[in-house]
Structure 1
């Protein structure tokens, strides 16, 4: 069996397990996400582009975890579920939007960083296969977050002053709400699998030869 086929099978298995884990233990899976990103950072430690993506992703996941944990704590102390859900979906949206914007200008940011820290290594910065794929994935994240946020509002119009007799017709709406964990788990598994696949591809890339200059007579 070819190495590429083995890696494909490995990626599918990891994506499936990751999706199942997120679906069953959503909050605790943050630790698995962080661990996965740390592993990716280690695997891509000599790959500047992957390292930059993984570090930013790791930072945003930490921020997201802290904020969401705080919101759950507020909910246990009496914050209404409607407001809690709105804040959680809003947090997910903002984090995913920041990551989306970072990916859009990732090469530019990476070049600025590398020119300040290691100018001689600027050729190591380029658009990888992961950049457009992750941009598409996080665009989907943003759409899911917006849909969940909007659906949460529609399902709870009575809290916004709308007559309950009119609002109750939307109480049964829950297409995104009841499938949010599934959608997020699929997208998260795609993120991890994309990074793993890109690391695999980048490691097969031949080392760039240094330009040779003839000595002047």
Structure 2
């Protein structure tokens, strides 16, 4: 059984777990994996059946990016993690984008829509090549997502390492997307072997899509840099000097909210490009 003081700490940790779920999308299974304990053990801790071990408390403090003393004494550093003090995420649309983007299902649906659009534009080699670029990128994104979830994250030492992997891969994919869009015509000629004159035409949506891809790359880059700045103490710098950066979590907190609308807008632009080409191709026939 826990002492009254220990039970108070357990209740505090219960609130922090809700905060981690609300703010970072972490499930109880994720938290247990980071702490190296089972679900039943965590329940026993939170229900006051048994006391938290010191090592477990230190791991939980590390997960929350606070000091152990903050959890024991309920300092101001915990206020940002409590579920009642979470920042308002904005409109319903923003909440929808964020909740969908945090699930891998969102990228799978995005990939499915792109494949459907690829089939729909089969008579238009110009736009089909552009759609194919996004299909390749999101197929790779899905593959890497499952690789991270099932192979990398379970063995990663902490959230910092997990984020380095995730943000680095996403940045690489965004840069690859920029590269493919910029040299889309050369790749299209190579794939079609120059048999289709349509691939030499400038796509109406190429510039807007390149701009969106650039924004995606900027978001990924900022998230990666922010992750390093927030974890300078893990890189050997004095903790007391760099702890002021622990609150630097904008891109970490809103990463999915920033990227999901851009992904959906890209699909909308691709679809608009296909429709515009179809309309232009039908006008001479009707005339």
**Which of the five TM-score ranges fits, normalised by the shorter chain?**
0.7 to 0.9
Which of 180, 187, 197 is residue 122 of structure 1 equivalent to?
197
Change in Cα spacing, 1:86 to 1:78, as seen in structure 2 (3 Å) is closer
Aligned to 1:184: 259
Aligned to 2:269: 194
Instruction: State the alpha-carbon separation in 1 of the partners of residues 280 and 241 from structure 2.
Output: 61
Q: Which whole-Å deviations, capped at 9, do the CAs of 1:91-110 have from their partners, x for residues lacking one?
A: 00000101101111112221
Q: Which whole-Å deviations, capped at 9, do the CAs of 1:40-95 have from their partners, x for residues lacking one?
A: 11221111122112222212212122222222222233432101101100000000
Instruction: State the alpha-carbon separation in 1 of the partners of residues 95 and 250 from structure 2.
Output: 19
Q: Find out whether 1:141 has 2:216 as its counterpart.
A: yes
Compute the TM-score of the two structures, normalised by the length of structure 1. 0.80
Q: How many pairs align? A: 191
Instruction: State the alpha-carbon separation in 2 of the partners of residues 32 and 17 from structure 1.
Output: 20
Which of 150, 165, 176 is residue 98 of structure 1 equivalent to?
176
Aligned to 1:166: 241
Aligned to 2:187: 109
Aligned to 1:29: 106
Provide the secondary structure at the position in 1 that maps to 2:191.
helix
Change in Cα spacing, 1:87 to 1:66, as seen in structure 2 (3 Å) is same
Residue 38 of structure 1 and its aligned partner are, at CA, apart by 1.0
Aligned to 1:157: 232
Provide the secondary structure at the position in 2 that maps to 1:134.
helix
User: Quick check: 1:86–1:149 contact (8 Å CA) kept in 2?
Assistant: yes
Residue 143 of structure 1 and its aligned partner are, at CA, apart by 0.6
Rg larger for: 2
Instruction: State the alpha-carbon separation in 1 of the partners of residues 148 and 204 from structure 2.
Output: 36
| Structure 1: runs of 5 or more not aligned | 1-15, 210-217
Instruction: State the alpha-carbon separation in 1 of the partners of residues 133 and 279 from structure 2.
Output: 24
User: Quick check: 2:117–2:271 contact (8 Å CA) kept in 1?
Assistant: yes
Residue 125 of structure 1 and its aligned partner are, at CA, apart by 3.2
Q: Which whole-Å deviations, capped at 9, do the CAs of 1:159-188 have from their partners, x for residues lacking one?
A: 100111011100001121111111101111
Instruction: State the alpha-carbon separation in 2 of the partners of residues 149 and 163 from structure 1.
Output: 21
Q: Give 4+ residue runs of structure 1 displaced > 3 Å after superposition.
A: 16-22
Instruction: State the alpha-carbon separation in 2 of the partners of residues 51 and 79 from structure 1.
Output: 42
Instruction: State the alpha-carbon separation in 2 of the partners of residues 191 and 141 from structure 1.
Output: 11
User: Quick check: 1:19–1:185 contact (8 Å CA) kept in 2?
Assistant: no
Tell me whether 70-79 or 80-89 shows the greater mean CA deviation: 70-79
Which of 127, 148, 158 is residue 71 of structure 1 equivalent to?
148
Instruction: State the alpha-carbon separation in 2 of the partners of residues 17 and 50 from structure 1.
Output: 33
Q: Which whole-Å deviations, capped at 9, do the CAs of 1:131-171 have from their partners, x for residues lacking one?
A: 11110000001111000000000111111001110111000
